[in-house]
A and B are shown apart, each in its own frame.
Chain A
């Protein structure tokens, strides 16, 4: 079972964000979706858990067609998918332990002792032992991201979705988060989709990388294939060279004018 997005179109008002976006995240692998800020990466992620519905196209997760699921079926599916938010989205008024317990309580079948044990184990996995009784406001940015990851893995999902897991972090903390992403794959065997615009991070954690551009996948491949790409826009993006991006955009613009 895997995650598959097929020909997704999504507009907000007059702004067309996704225009025929298709991507498959193979089982047991980590795929990174990279692209410019505002390209629609987070919008893509929200389609996978049914937080957004596509105007056209469909999404398959774990063999189920997400847009056709009933509310109850969608909640059932969400218990298989952990979502790590860009700014962690921890519940401010709760301690870290209470944040982690939320998903477990909803899933049911855990005694209070099981929940305490699972919380401690999840916090140990993200190297935040002893943080159970802290409030989110007492944590640094990197610690908050790790706590967000701990909440996402607390109910041991099959799939993990990371929305900009390293944005706004210093290089050392970025590496720590990257190692955690690799650790989750190794120790929990999860299938992951990572949204990022940090290429060094994408190279470190990914089995495959896809670039989102103008609402669809412009290119996808292994990290080595992306490094060696001939596509000027992709090269410009991964090497951080705006002039290459402009050179790549020119023929597209001319084509659009002619067509």
Chain B
């Protein structure tokens, strides 16, 4: 076949990339619809939900709390450094509380969990795909979406907000510990700052964000795992894609919720 002229090749490459992207979105849309339909198959996913909640949620707590505790320390120190001489120091409490609840708690935990949870789902389901275990489920009359995808997605949606609430508390506690030990602040000052601009909606906002992050991380991981092609290399590609795409979508959603709700 005659090759296209040099100048037309980038246009061709752009066209083919666009077509691939549109086809990928179409496949993802179909996968999403199948997942929604599989929600009705409670008999299949119901018994697996608690196990997945423990695996994806409870087992992720240590990493989320580790991140949050160091974030709290840094937030308190940076706030004090920025405010010195200009703003009363009790605003350290305000900044630590607001930033943890509204932004860093949900986003940092979401990004960490996209690495831990999203990657593990994509690798596990990808391996099941290439070793025909997903086909085997089908031949045993199980709907693989009900059996593998729904419990993971629901576990993510239900447990991510709980993890992030714990992370927020630990972040604020570590900020408080830093304030009273390393900065010239008392507990009363820190709490005064913390309560100053606090609104119950902050918690709602944090929960809405993290619920959407839980959904994105798990559904992207499942989709990448299900569409894995080839052998070990394909599993590696799917895992990397799951982490990259869900991390990007977390940042996009973060901006989306800020524009919509703040």
Contact = CB atoms under 8 A, between A and B. Distances in A.
Contact of B138 (A51, A87, A91): A51
Interface string A101-117: 01100110000000000
Interface in B113-136: 127, 131-133, 135-136
A92 B139 contact: no
Contact of B136 (A71, A83, A107): A83
B262 interface: no
Interface in B134-153: 135-143
A103 B142 CA distance: 8
B130 to A, nearest CB: 10
Contact of A49 (B132, B133, B139, B142): B139
Nearest to B139: A83
A95 to B, nearest CB: 15
Interface string A199-242: 00000000000000000000000000000000000000000000
Contacts of A71: 143
Interface residues of A, number: 23
B141 A89 contact: no
A148 to B, nearest CB: 8
Nearest to A86: B132
Contacts of B135: 46, 51, 83, 85, 89
Size class of the B contact interface (CB-based, 8 Å): 10 to 19
Contacts of B137: 102
B140 A102 contact: yes
B139 A78 contact: yes
| Residues of A contacting B: mostly | mixed
A87 B142 CA distance: 20
A85 B127 CA distance: 15
B141 A85 contact: no
B131 A87 contact: yes
Interface in A47-81: 49, 51, 71, 75-76, 78-79, 81
A81 B139 contact: yes
Contact of A102 (B127, B132, B142, B143): B142
A75 B140 CA distance: 8
Contacts of B138: 49, 51, 78
A107 B139 contact: no
A86 B90 CA distance: 67
Contact of B141 (A46, A92, A103, A151): A103
B92 to A, nearest CB: 47
Contacts of B140: 78, 102-103, 106, 151
A86 B141 CA distance: 19
B132 A89 contact: yes
Most chain A CB neighbours (cut-off 10 Å) among B132, B136, B138: B136
B132 A87 contact: yes
Contacts of A87: 131-132
Contacts of B131: 87, 89
B139 A91 contact: no
B133 A78 contact: no
Interface string A154-184: 0000000000000000000000000000000
Contacts of B127: 92
Interface centre among B132, B137, B140, B143 (most CB of A within 10 A): B140
Contacts of A85: 132, 135-136
A107 B132 contact: no
Contacts of B141: 75-76, 78-79, 103, 106-107
Nearest to B138: A51
9 contacts: A49-B139, A71-B143, A75-B143, A76-B141, A89-B133, A89-B136, A91-B133, A103-B140, A106-B140
The 4 A-B residue pairs whose C-beta atoms are closest, nearest first, are A89-B136, A83-B139, A89-B132, A75-B141
Interface of A: 46, 49, 51, 71, 75-76, 78-79, 81-83, 85-87, 89-92, 102-103, 106-107, 151
Given A86-B132, A103-B140, 9 more contacts: A51-B135, A51-B138, A51-B139, A75-B141, A81-B139, A83-B135, A89-B135, A91-B133, A102-B142
